[in-house]
Amino acid sequence: MTAAAGLFLVVQACGGSGAESGPNAAATEADLAALCTDICERGLTCEPEYAEDSCQTECVSDNPEATLVRRDVIRGLVDCQRQLTCDDNDDLCIDRVLRELEPDFAGSPLLDLCIRVQDQCGGFSDDICAYAVIFTDDGKARLEACLNSGCESVGACIAGL
């Protein structure tokens, strides 16, 4: 799956799931489905060997729960995906969206913790550390709990998100 799809993707960051807008608004299953639809449509257009029948299902299952991800991030990724050409790497979408919505994302203490734990323990891709920025507050709390769970269980805990 692509980086945008694995949003980690691709990929999702701040608040309560009841908020409707702003950095604390959680994405919905429909938001995630819209992102996956765009990713799959681009794949079908740009990659002749793309597997249409399983793309949507794999995309949704490869991403964290929609309610853990910021709605504004998912919508930004949808907008970005729609502008990509076949020659563009979709990894640029997450970078573009994060820089627009969270210009100081590199200074996130949770991001720093995630990278340190990944360096010490392994067990998960450092791409997952983007969740520290794109998750809702609930998602961030769950990610932090995983990161503090110890090297023997951190990978499985993060996979459960």
74-105 b/e (C-beta count within 10 Å ≥ 16 → b): bbbbbebbeebeeeeebeebbeebbeebbeeb
What is the pLDDT at residue 72? 93
- Contact of 146 with 27, CB cutoff 8 Å: no
What is the pLDDT at residue 21? 63
Q: Which residue ranges of the chain lie beneath pLDDT 70? A: 1-22, 52
Q: What is the pLDDT of residues 70-114, one digit of tens each?
A: 999 999 999 999 999 999 998 899 889 988 888 887 788 999 999
Domain coordinates in residue numbering, the chain: 29-159
What is the pLDDT at residue 53? 74
What is the pLDDT at residue 148? 97
What is the pLDDT at residue 17? 38
What is the pLDDT at residue 91? 86
